[in-house]
Amino acid sequence: MSQSTPPSETLIRTKNLTKRFGRVLANDAINFKVKRGEIYALLGENGAGKSTLMNMLSGVYTPDEGEIRVHGKKVFFRSPEDSIRCGIGMIYQHFKLIEVMTALENIIIGRREDLLISTSGIRRRVMEIAKRYGLPLDPDKKVYDMSVGEKQTVEIMKVLYRGADILILDEPTAVLTPQETHNLFSILRRMKDEGCGVIIITHKLHEVMEISDWVTVLRKGQNVGNVKTSETSHKKLADLMVGRSLDLSIEHVHMEHKSPALEVRDLTLTDHEHVNKISSLSFTLFSGEILGVAGISGSGQKELCEAMAGLYPVHSGDIVYKGESIVGLSSREIIDKGITMSFIPEDRLGMGLVASMDLTDNVILKDYYQSPGLFVDRKSAQEKTVKIIKDFNIQTPGPHHPVKLLSGGNIQKVLLGREIMSRPHLLITAYPTRGLDIASSYLIYDYINREKKKGTPILYVGEDLDVLLELCDRIMVLCDGKATGIVDADQTTKETLGLLMAGETLDSIERMAHDSDR
Amino acid sequence: MIQIVKKGEISKKQKILIHLSALFLALLTASLFILLMDHNPLKVYFSMIQGAFGTTYRLSETIIKTIPLVITSLGIALAFRMKFWNIGAEGQIIMGAFGASWFALSFPHLPSWLLLPLMALGGFVGGGLWALIPAFFRARFRTNETIFTLMLNYIALKWITYLQNGPWKDPGALGFPKIPNFDEHAVLPRLFGIHIGWLIALVLVILSALFINKTKKGYEIQVIGESENTARYAGINVPGTILTTIFLSGALCGLTGMIEASAINKTLSVEITGGVGYTAIITAWLANLKEPLIVIVSFLFAAMIQGSSYIQMAFQIPQSAAEILQGLILFFILGSEFFIRYRIHFRRNPAKGGS
C-alpha cells in the first residue's frame, strides 16, 4: 500500500469489460471505477453479472474483451495470485479457512516467503494492521471456536496482510445477524478512512443505502447506472435493477377464524453423527396463518422442513397433523395427506424438480403414480401443465421445454405452481424467492397470500427479515436448532429478531431493555 | 494463450457434422499408419466395407455380431439412465450364459420348445442376480458400483474357468479343459438364415423403449438418475427401484449370454463374451442411451469389427494392426465429444500479468 498517493486516486478502472459464457453475454462492455477512500455497492439481481465482473477483477475469469487498469496500469490476470499481487483482495461468501488452525496461522498460511520471518515479527505486523483498521482479532483463537462474524474478520485480515488496498466482498451480510452486520460496516468505514477502496456485492437495498458512497447497478450484464448513494433512494435503485417501476409493498392478509392445524411437540432431530439439528422444538401452526421461520442459514430449517415432509428421521417428539401423528409415515403417505413441501435448497434444481425433464414430466412428479395402469398418463398431465403455464404466467416455449433452460423465476413458478395446483392442505415453503428477481418475488408472495386466503396453513422459511415481518403473522426464530422465540410479526422489530437469531431469548432481551432504561 | 470456453446448446446438424469430421480425421490418421505398412489406404478402407457388407454371408456375420451388442447395450443403457454405472455387463453375460448352460446340460433331452425358454429364463435370472449383488450394496450401503461391478466380472470369469477345469469338464475331450457341447435341442433356431436372436433383439429394443419412456417405473428410473433427493421427495422408493432396475439391466445382459452360448458357441466357455460387455458400454454411450440409436450404432460397430477382421486376411495385416484402426476411430469419435461441449479460444497478444 502506498500512502503517498492522493486520496482521490483511481484504484481500479475497467474499460468495456466483456465476458461471454456460450451464448450468454454475462458482462457487456462494463465501465466501472473504484477510487481510494470510497465504498462502492455493486447491485443487481441474480444473473445480472455481478459475480462475473468480480471474478474478472479477482483473476478467476479472464475477460474476453476490454481491459482492467489497476493503479493506472493495464493488467492482465491469469490467476487470483496475479490479482492479489496488484492489491485486490476478494472475500468470498463461503469462508476458506482451516478449522483446526488459529487465526494467525490461517492468515499466514500459504505464504512461502514468510517461513523465514520470525513468528513474533509476523504477529506484530498482523496486530498492527488489525489495530489500524479496528479489526477485533484474537490471533490465537482457533477457527472452530469462532462465530461467523469472527471468521469473516479473519478472512478480511488475510487479504489485508497480503497488502490488499482494494477489497471486494461478495454478499458479506448473507450469513450475518443484524448486529454482526453492523460491526462489519464499521470496519468497512474504518478501511475507507484508511484509504482503501471497498466494493460490496449485494442485493439488499437498505444495506446499499446505509454503507455505500456510490452504487453501480447491473442488469442483464450491462451497467445501467452509476449513482451517488446520497442522491438516490430505495425505490429508484429497485426500479433501476428491474428496469421498470415497482410497487414494493407486500400485502398482509388478515384472517378471522384460526384453528390449530399442525402441532409439533418436543421435536428432536439428530443427524447421522448424533448431533442435534433440532432440539425439543414445539410450536403450533394455525389454519389461515403464515408462520415465518427466521434464523441464520443452517440453524435447523432444512431438517425441520424435511422431517415434516417425511424425509428426515425423527429422533424423538411428535408431529401431529389434524390429530394424527405423521412421524414415521413415508413421504408418499404424507403427500397423500395433502401436506406439500416446496423446499428450495441452495441449488434450486436439487430437490423438487428434475432439471433435464420437461415441464410436463415435472408437473406429474408427485402424482404420476395415482393414474391407473402401468403407464404414465401424460395426456392429462399436459393439460394440467398448460393450465399452470397460463395461471402462473410462466415464460416458456411450451409444456415440453426442459425446465433447466427456463430462467430462475420461471423455474420457481413451475415448482410453486405444481404445489399449489395440488390443492395442498398444508404448505411448507423454504426460501421460495431465493435467487429470484424482484418482480417474480412479489408474484410469489401474492401466490402465498392467495393460499392463505383459502385457509391453508403455511410454514414460510425465509431469510429476508423485512419480508418476514411484512408477510407473516408470527415468526419463529431458530438458533442452533432451538426456538429462541415465537413473536407476533406486527409487534416485533428487526433488532429483536436479530438478537433472537444470535441466541438471545425473549426474556434476556426484555431484561436488556429494562437495564438500559434504568 | 489458449482458453477453453463452454459452448451453449448446439444443433443436431452441428453435432453430426462434428462426429463426421471426427470419423474423417480418424480415417486420415489411420491412413498414415496404413501407408507405413505399405498398403493403399483407400483400398484397405474399401475392402473393409466389402468385408462387412460385400456378400450375404459377410452381411449375416455382421448382423450376428450386432445382436449381442444391441441387447447388452440395452441393459447397460437401462442402468446408465439411472446413473448407475454398471460396467459389469461382461460378468452378467457370463453368469447368464452359465444359467442357460445349466439347463442345457442338466436337461439335454427336453424338447426345444421347453428347453429354450428354460435356458432363456436361466440366462435372465443368472445375469440379473449377478447384477443384484452390487445393486444391493449400493442401495443399502452406498458402495461404489463402478469398482464393484468391474471386480465381479473377474470373479464370473474365474468361475467358468473353474467349471471348465473341474466339475463341468467334458470327459470326452481327451483331457482338454472344455465344457461339453450342447445337444441339438439347446440351440436357437434360425430365421431367414440367421439365428433367431435378431428377432429377440428387435423385440427387446421396442420393449425397452416402451418401458423407459412410457411406464411409471421408467419415469421413476429417470427421476432417480437425475437426483436421488428429488426422487425421495416425490415419494419414490429409491432402494427398491435401484434393485429392480439393476436386476433388469443384468438380466438383459444375461440374455445376451444365453443367446451367445446357445446359438454361437453351442457350449459355455471363457471366451463366451468376446469383450461385448465392454464394447457395449461404448455403443450405449455413443447412442446417447436411446434405444433406436443403439441399433444403428451397434450395427456400425459390428461392421467395423467385421470389416477389420476381413482386412486381416485380405492384406495379411496382423490382428493388432486392425485393432489399432478400431482404436483410432474410437479415439477420435469419443474425443470429438469435447468439441461438442467446448470451444477453444486462442488469445492473441497476451499482455503482461501482475505488476
A275 residue type, one letter: V
Q: Look over chain B and give the mean of its residue pLDDT values, rounded to a whole number.
A: 87
Domain borders along chain A are: 10-236, 260-350+424-517
User: Is B23 a domain residue?
Assistant: no
In order of A361, A424, B218, the CA distances from B214 in angstroms are: 11, 28, 7
DSSP-assigned letter for residue B55: S
pLDDT at B203: 95
**For chain A, how far is it from start to end, CA to CA, in angstroms?**
47
Phi, then psi, of B83 in degrees rounded to 5:
55, 35
* CB–CB contact B8 A22 (8 Å): yes
| Nearest Cα residue in chain A from B215 | A375
According to DSSP, the β-strands at A339-343 and A426-430 are parallel
A271: helix, strand or coil? coil
pLDDT at B2: 64
B182: helix, strand or coil? coil
- Of the partner residues A75, A86, A354, the one whose CB lies closest to the CB of residue B223: A354
Characterize B182-215 residue by residue with b for buried, 16 or more Cβ atoms within 10 angstroms of its Cβ, and e for exposed.
Answer: bbebbbbeeeeebbbbbebbeebbeebbebbeee
Q: Which residues of B touch A (CB under 8 A)?
A: 1, 3, 5-9, 214-216, 218-219, 222-223, 226-227, 229-230, 232-235, 345, 347, 350-355
According to DSSP, the β-strands at A39-43 and A214-219 are parallel
How near does any CA of chain B get to the CA of A370, in Å? 10
- Of the partner residues B5, B226, B232, the one whose CB lies closest to the CB of residue A355: B226
Chain B residues with CB under 8 Å of A77 CB are 353-354
pLDDT at B251: 95
User: Given the C-alpha cell 433512494, which residue does it identify?
Assistant: A233
* CB–CB contact B233 A343 (8 Å): yes
Q: Which three cell numbers stand for residue A77?
A: 490476470
Written as one string, the DSSP assignment of A276-325 is: EEEEEEEEEEETT-EEEEE-STTSSHHHHHHHHTT-S---EEEEEETTEE
User: Taking the domain A260-350+424-517, which CATH number applies?
Assistant: 3.40.50.300
User: Is B3 a domain residue?
Assistant: no
- What is the model's pTM? 0.73
* CB–CB contact A351 B5 (8 Å): no
pLDDT one-digit tens code per residue, B121-150? 999 999 999 999 999 999 888 889 999 999
Instruction: Give the integer Cα–Cα distance in Å for B194 and A34.
Output: 77
How near does any CA of chain A get to the CA of B283, in Å? 22
* CB–CB contact A22 B223 (8 Å): no
- Of the partner residues B226, B345, B347, the one whose CB lies closest to the CB of residue A354: B226
Chain A residues with CB under 8 Å of B80 CB are none
**For chain B, how far is it from start to end, CA to CA, in angstroms?**
19
User: Is B57 a domain residue?
Assistant: no
* CB–CB contact A73 B235 (8 Å): no
pLDDT at A311: 82
Which is more confidently placed, B193 or B239?
Answer: B239
CA atoms within 13 A on the CB side of B139: 19
* CB–CB contact A311 B234 (8 Å): no
Instruction: Give the integer Cα–Cα distance in Å for B24 and B21.
Output: 5
Chain B residues with CB under 8 Å of A374 CB are 215-216
pLDDT block averages, 10 residues each, chain A of length 518: 55 87 79 89 80 86 87 84 86 83 83 63 85 85 84 88 87 78 88 89 82 89 86 83 71 78 89 84 90 85 86 88 83 79 57 83 84 84 87 81 77 82 84 74 85 88 86 90 88 85 81 75
Q: Which residues of A touch B (CB under 8 A)?
A: 20-24, 62, 64, 70-71, 73-78, 82, 85-86, 309, 311, 330-332, 335, 341, 343, 349-357, 361, 364-366, 368-369, 374-376, 405
pLDDT one-digit tens code per residue, A314-359? 888 888 888 888 888 888 888 877 777 665 554 556 677 888 888 8
Cβ B303 vs Cβ B52: under 8 Å: yes
Q: Return the beta strands (E) in B197-327 as ranges.
A: none
Q: What is the H or E stretch that residue A166 is in? A: strand A166-170
* CB–CB contact A331 B233 (8 Å): yes
- Of the partner residues B222, B233, B347, the one whose CB lies closest to the CB of residue A352: B233
Instruction: Give the integer Cα–Cα distance in Å for B102 and B106.
Output: 6
A135: helix, strand or coil? coil
Which is more confidently placed, B285 or B321?
Answer: B285
Instruction: Give the integer Cα–Cα distance in Å for A500 and A495.
Output: 9
pLDDT at B242: 93
- Of the partner residues B3, B5, B355, the one whose CB lies closest to the CB of residue A85: B355
| Nearest Cα residue in chain A from B228 | A351
User: Is B139 a domain residue?
Assistant: yes
Q: Which three cell numbers stand for residue A476?
A: 419463529
Structural domains of chain B, count: 1
Instruction: Give the integer Cα–Cα distance in Å for A493 and A339.
Output: 31
DSSP-assigned letter for residue B83: T
Give B348's pLDDT tier (boundaries 50, 70, 90). Answer: low
User: Is B119 a domain residue?
Assistant: yes
* CB–CB contact B351 A309 (8 Å): no
DSSP-assigned letter for residue A401: S
User: Is B193 a domain residue?
Assistant: yes
pLDDT at A517: 67
| Least-confidence region, from A104-113, B197-206, B340-349 | B340-349
φ/ψ bin of A84: left (φ > 0), alpha (ψ from -120 to 50), beta (otherwise): alpha
* CB–CB contact A75 B351 (8 Å): yes
Q: Return the beta strands (E) in A44-84 as ranges.
A: 65-70, 73-75
Query: Do the first three CATH levels of A10-236 and A260-350+424-517 match, i.e. the same topology?
Result: yes
pLDDT at B341: 77
Overall average pLDDT of the B91-105 stretch: 94
Q: What is the fold, at CATH topology level, of the domain defined by A10-236? A: Rossmann fold (3.40.50)
Q: Which residues contact A240 (CB under 8 A, 6 or more apart)?
A: A43, A217, A219, A224, A225, A227
| Nearest Cα residue in chain A from B341 | A22
* CB–CB contact B216 A82 (8 Å): no
Domain holding B124, by residue range, is: 66-294
pLDDT at B344: 74
pLDDT one-digit tens code per residue, B19-47? 888 888 988 998 898 888 888 888 888 88
Chain A residues with CB under 8 Å of B235 CB are 330-332, 335, 366, 369
Q: Return the beta strands (E) in A152-297 as ranges.
A: 166-170, 197-202, 214-219, 222-228, 260-270, 276-286, 290-294
Instruction: Give the integer Cα–Cα distance in Å for B351 and A88.
Output: 19
- Of the partner residues B229, B233, B354, the one whose CB lies closest to the CB of residue A82: B354
